[in-house]
Amino acid sequence: MACEQRRRSSMVLNLTPLIDIVFLLLIFFMLTSRFIEEQQIPVDLPDARISGETRDDAFVQVTLTPDGRILVAGEEVPLEALEQRLRQALKTGGRRFVRLRGDEGARFGLGVQVIDAARNAGAASVDILTERP
């Protein structure tokens, strides 16, 4: 009886070419991708100390309610008419500043739209009012 010898082949998978291809693809995508910087809204952060008092009549106060209403000096204004209303309010009495009072439950996007409208209406600055902790 002839004994058959089984060939045991050791299957070794060479991963070197695969790793080379992965690194080449990684380098390719890193070099060809564009890095886009997000547009940011410039925000002037206030100091912690109290500065000189400002006249209350130098400001136009805008209030955001949790249900999405916008109030300019206590009067409800639709978002579409906000810029025009702010332009009128800033012209009367030599006002140059806008104070934004937003409820904690108000939408952030609505606040950004109000800031944009105030800038377009010609406000020198937009202050965001908060409560002290």
Q: What's the pLDDT score for residue 127?
A: 86
Q: What's the pLDDT score for residue 22?
A: 96
Q: What's the pLDDT score for residue 25?
A: 96
Q: Residues 4-37: pLDDT tens digits? A: 666 666 778 889 999 999 999 999 988 888 766 5
Higher pLDDT, 23 or 90: 23
This model's pTM is above 0.75: no
Q: Residues 51-68: pLDDT tens digits? A: 555 556 678 888 888 888
What is the distance between the alpha carbons of residues 7 and 5, in angstroms, rounded to a whole number? Answer: 6
Q: What's the pLDDT score for residue 71?
A: 87
Q: What would the CATH number be for the domain defined by 57-129?
A: 3.30.420.40
